[in-house]
Structure formats: structure tokens, C-alpha cells
Amino acid sequence: YITSTIATAKAGYPKVSNNCQVNQDHDLTLPEVPGLKFHLPAQCITTEATLTMTVYYADPPYNQGLPIQKDSDGNHFIQLSPIVRLEPDGYQFTPNSTRKALLQVPVPYINQIVSLKKNNNFNIPIKIICRSYGCEKWEQQDIEYEYSRDKNGYYCLTFAVSHFSDYAVISRVKSSFYSAYKYIFPSWQQRIKTLAFLSEIDTSDDTVHMKLILAKKDEDETAILSDFHQEVIRIRLVTTGLENTILENGDYEAKFKEDGLDCPNADLNNRIITINWNEYSYHAIDYACKVIKKAATNIAQISLKLEDPKRDTKAKICYLRRSNSNKPNPSKRPVLPTKDDSALSDDQPQQVQQKHQIPITSSRQ
């Protein structure tokens, strides 16, 4: 893991605004993001303007379009700096000014490279890119830059900007350095994927365990599932409704709506879960269910609604249904798997490690 001085997101993205007067120098900084500084000399503006600087870390949808993938030589493209937005978008500075507006951004990944090499002789290619707000395409800026260190000794990179826009610094590194990259920046929200599973039915009382997993979209599925006992993820369900959904950090009211399954436990049926992408790469919600329609295709619905009334409180609904590929012959056995169903036996050793789960007896992550 990379140690970064950038503060964890707790109440949205760090943001600062300043009413800039003509004929005055202005500096915008954010205490949550050490090393970040925007310097606007007096000569750069001719009229009074309200300037805003916001940091979006590496979160979606702001990171859309960044070339985060391998190149032909097997090197990985990475984001060195957080995404910084300067507004009003497209605002042009006074042309031919002798003093330039300067943006200094922290590059915490450089600290890791220096630490691993145990010297200051690092040589990685630097690309400064920008794009207008709402545009997907990033454009490389052919401009000079300088390295420096902030008061805590962490590396920063400074370059001139001619207009307001979204800015970021990217590079490419060898695979040996890439493994720790994803942990550089805090996160306020993530685009998610959903996974859902059932255990076998206990035929003595028609009960079954259901698990819904909310994970970062790029998180490795095999690694996630290795955290759970195989007996509780015996049959996979199809999930719809949350495709391309972005979930913010916060407390959510999670409600279970019955269909093929019921959740009789009131504490599990309607509970509060806490989403925090700075602590977990996925969140699992467990339900102790009762089978009420063995031949049902639709299993249940789970709705998620932010508790904070100042934010988006529209419920997000995940629909769970049985996959056709899992449908057995109804004339021979029940649609949902049971412990007596030999066709679903598993000879693989069961995993005993379970991380980051919400116990079925708990109402909070």
C-alpha cells in the first residue's frame, strides 16, 4: 500500500472557491490535499471572477477516458496526480502575460518509487493532460513542468495553465510497480457491479441463505469469492437494475422485497448498511430467507436509499432472478437447489476465511 498525505473523503470532494480581484495575486489551496496549490498572478485576469478548485481523486465518472491499461510493451498507464478541476470551465487568462498561472499537484506515487529504489534517481515519463468539463477526451499538454517537495517532503509537480479545465498527470510504469498503484487516492464514490448467490435449500424448513455483493466494478471477482464459504455461494443469481450505478460513501437503508423468497427477520428485511470505499473494495449483504415460490424466476428485490436527505435520496433497486442456465428439469426436482440435490454437489475444499461480510444477525456493516 502507498502512504499518501491526501485526506480520506468524508463529506464529498475537497473544494474551495475564491472571489479573485483584478490586480491582486491569488492562491487557492486545500488542507485535505497537501501539496495542491493554484497560483493566479494579478496580470492573468482583467475582470473580477469567482474561481473554484475541486479535487475528484481518481473516482468515476471523472476518470472516464483516462488510458488506464497496458501498452504494447506491457507497461501500465497510471494516474500520478488526483484529478483537479478549475472553474469556470474554459475561462481564458490574459494572453501574453509575463507571469503564468501555475498549478502544483501532489504526485504521491513518486514517493513510493523513490522509497523502493532507495534513492531520488527516478525516471518515468510524464504526461500532463486536460479536458473540458463534460468532455470524454483528454488532450496531452506540451508544456514544461518542475518537480518540488512540499513542507512534508512529498513530491509535487508544477506546470503552467492557460485556461480552466480538468487536469491530471499520468505516466506508465512496469508491472512490478503497478500492484500498489490502486491504493494511492482516497475515494468518495465508485461505479459498482453486483453479484448474488444462494446456498442450497434446507428441505427440513425450506430456508436458504442469500448473499448480495456490491463491489467496485474493476475488482477481481475470483478474489472476492475466495473470501466466502462455498456452501453459501452454491448457485449464482442474475442481477439487474444497478448497471453503471455509482454508489457514494454513506449510510443506506436497504429494504428486502419478497418474490420467490421472503426474509421473515425484520432486522434483516429493513436495515442500515454503511458504504465506505476507503475501507472495503466490496460490501456483502446477507439474508436468511424462506422459500415461498420454488418455481419462481424472480427471487427478490433489494432497494438502497441514502439516509442523508441533503444528497440523492432516490432509491436504487437491484432485481435478483434465477438464471436460465441454472434451471433444472421441473419434473424431476425443485427449481431452487436443495441439500439433497447431488447434481449441485461440490468436491472443492471450502474456504474458511470470510472478510468484510455483513453477518446475517447484524444491521450494520
**DSSP letters for 71-133:** -TTSPEEEE-S--EEEESTTPBPPTT-SS-EEEEEE-HHHHHHHHHHTSS------EEEEE-T
- Quick: pLDDT tens for 24-76: 899 999 999 999 999 998 888 878 888 999 999 999 999 998 876 777 777 78
Judge contact between 236 and 326, C-beta under 8 A: yes
Angstrom distance (rounded) from CA 287 to CA 316? 18
CA atoms within 13 A on the CB side of 138: 21
Residue 177's Cβ-side half-sphere holds a number of Cα atoms within 13 Å equal to 23
Question: What is the arithmetic mean of pLDDT over 305-332?
Answer: 76
Q: What is the DSSP string of 42-54?
A: GGG-SS-EEEEEE
pLDDT above 90: percentage of residues in the chain: 51
**Domain-wise residue ranges, the chain:** 15-183, 189-358
Does 296 score more than 80 pLDDT? yes
CA 259 to CA 298: how far, in whole Å?
A: 6
Q: In the structure grid, which three cell numbers stand for residue 308, read together?
A: 442523508
Share of the chain above pLDDT 70, in %: 80
pLDDT band at 208 (very low <50, low <70, confident <90, very high): very high
User: For the domain bounded by 189-358, which CATH number is listed?
Assistant: 2.60.40.2660
For cell 435520496, the residue is: 313
CB atoms within 10 A of CB 365: 21
DSSP code for 132: -
Is the Cα dihedral 66, 68, 72, 73 positive or negative?
A: positive
> Which CATH number does the domain 15-183 belong to among 1.10.260.40, 2.60.220.30, 3.40.50.1110, 2.40.128.720?
2.60.220.30
Report the mean per-residue pLDDT for the chain: 82
pLDDT, tens digit, 9 for 90 and up, residues 229-254: 999 999 999 999 999 999 999 999 99
| pLDDT tens-digit series, residues 149-206 | 888 888 899 999 988 899 999 988 776 666 656 667 899 999 999 999 999 999 899 9
State the maximum Cα–Cα separation within the chain, in Å, rounded to a whole number: 84
